[in-house]
């Protein structure tokens, strides 16, 4: 049971070097993946004094860190390394890697050029991540940006309507896949029309079912049909689906809608349970159990080591008392292991490029083209 619980818990950590305790936990199968943030990268700032400042990432240090993080559990299942590398404000790896404009830049392009460029950008980002030793990009954004007051999505989205978001985002995901990088669409069932940041509070959307089906859900329905390997949930209450619980904790939303009605067969991952949309309302041990009961396969715990331990204890103790929860944990662990095996096979088909691809002239020219500077 502990090996199965471990596959479901993916964690962040502090510092730019591999903590010994985390190495032990990954090797023991306590956690199934690590998540890198800007705080984990050795970054220096150059310029100033009238000159333009720029953040420079030590890529050698990042490669060494990733080499240490690529550990395997006792059952042989490898630990993955995940990151958010979307473009715009959300790209953890900085120069000399290519700096990408936000994905809303595609909105200045007509079809089919926007789709072709989105796939090329996904492939380029994937190649750079692959060359640096990463496995998974928490991208593309499948949210439709319909609310100018939205404080968290904005120009991270691929467009303002469901059709263009679907076309561009799934092309981006195909590019990642061709590079041997797992894609993860987010944030189900849609974060694009909120006016609250779920890092800080619990947003609520009161649209009726017809609106949700036509706008918010459409890209996720297409992602399910395209067999996207992962979809991330939103800590958002959708009143038409479940007026009481955020999507991450709602069986109606995760199992009833995403898994059953939309037919999604891949891995469902929660957004970070350390976020205040969840943490301000309940303990992470209860939240972890609630998310798995709702139908999530993976729990993200990105910041707090105490919460990571609480999640392990909460899931383990609850599973000892509840055979249905044990079944759910086993089902999710099997789905995660199958994804990891498929990922390893895909990487074997697409060998990692050399480090020369990171920040290459061709990639910088592609970024300029997307930004409209070419």
271 is catalytic: yes
Token match 């609520």: residue?
A: 204
Residues in the chain: 374
Whole-number CA gyration radius for the chain: 20
CB of 125 closer than 8 Å to CB of 85: yes
DSSP string, 156-220: GSS-SSHHHHHHHHHHHHHHHHHTT-EEEEEEET--TT-SS-TTTS--EE---HHHHHHTTSHHH
Per the residue annotation, which of 84, 193, 271, 272 is the catalytic one?
271
Pairing mode of beta strands 85-87, 80-83: unpaired
3-state secondary structure of 331: helix
Partners of 33 in the β-ladder? 10, 80
Pairing mode of beta strands 182-188, 230-233: parallel
The half-sphere exposure of 358 on its side-chain side, counting CA atoms within 13 A, is: 22
Q: What is the DSSP letter of 55?
A: E
Instruction: Give the C-alpha distances (Å, rounded to integers) separating 218 from 98, 167, 371.
Output: 31, 11, 27
Long-range contacts at 148-154 (CB < 8 A, ≥ 24 apart): 149/195, 150/191, 150/192, 150/193, 150/194, 150/195, 151/195, 151/196, 151/197, 152/191, 152/194, 152/197, 152/198, 152/199, 153/191, 153/192, 153/194, 154/102, 154/104
Quickly count: other Cβ atoms within 10 Å of residue 34's Cβ: 27
State the Cα–Cα distance between residues 311 and 372, nearest whole angstrom: 46
Q: Is the peptide bond before 189 cis (omega within 30 degrees of 0)?
A: yes
Catalytic residue positions, numbered: 271
């Amino acid at each position: 049971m502990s090996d199965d619980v471990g596959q479901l818990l993916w964690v962040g950590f502090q510092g730019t070097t591999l903590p010994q305790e985390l190495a032990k936990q990954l090797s023991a199968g306590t956690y199934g993946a690590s998540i890198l943030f800007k705080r984990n990268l050795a970054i220096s700032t150059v310029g100033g004094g009238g000159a333009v400042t720029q953040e420079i990432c030590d890529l050698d240090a990042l490669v060494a860190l990733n080499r240490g993080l690529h550990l395997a559990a006792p059952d042989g299942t490898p630990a993955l390394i995940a990151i958010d590398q979307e473009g715009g404000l959300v790209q953890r790896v900085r120069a000399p890697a290519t700096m990408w404009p936000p994905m809303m830049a595609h909105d200045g392009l007509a079809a089919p050029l926007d789709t072709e460029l989105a796939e090329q950008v996904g492939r380029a980002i994937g190649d750079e991540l692959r060359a640096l030793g990463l496995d998974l990009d928490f991208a593309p954004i499948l949210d439709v940006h319909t609310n100018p007051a939205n404080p968290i999505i904005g120009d991270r989205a691929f467009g303002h309507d469901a059709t263009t978001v679907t076309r561009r985002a799934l092309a981006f995901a195909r590019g990642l896949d061709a590079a041997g990088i797992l894609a993860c669409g987010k944030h189900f069932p849609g974060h694009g029309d909120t006016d609250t940041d779920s890092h800080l509070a619990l947003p609520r959307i009161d649209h009726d079912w017809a609106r949700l089906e036509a706008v918010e859900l459409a890209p996720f329905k297409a992602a399910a049909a395209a067999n996207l390997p992962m979809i991330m949930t939103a800590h958002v209450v959708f009143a038409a689906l479940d007026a009481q619980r955020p999507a991450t904790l709602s069986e109606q939303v995760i199992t009833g809608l995403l898994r059953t009605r939309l037919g999604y067969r891949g891995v469902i991952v929660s957004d970070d349970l350390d976020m205040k949309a969840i943490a301000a309302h309940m303990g992470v041990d209860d939240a972890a159990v609630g998310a798995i009961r709702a139908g999530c396969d993976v729990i993200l715990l990105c910041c707090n080591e105490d919460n990571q331990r609480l999640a392990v204890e909460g899931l383990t103790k609850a599973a000892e008392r509840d055979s249905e929860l044990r079944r759910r944990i086993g089902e999710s662990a099997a789905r995660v292991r199958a994804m990891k095996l498929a990922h390893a096979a895909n990487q074997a088909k697409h060998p990692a490029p050399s480090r020369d691809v990171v920040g290459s002239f061709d990639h910088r020219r592609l970024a300029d083209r997307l930004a409209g500077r070419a």
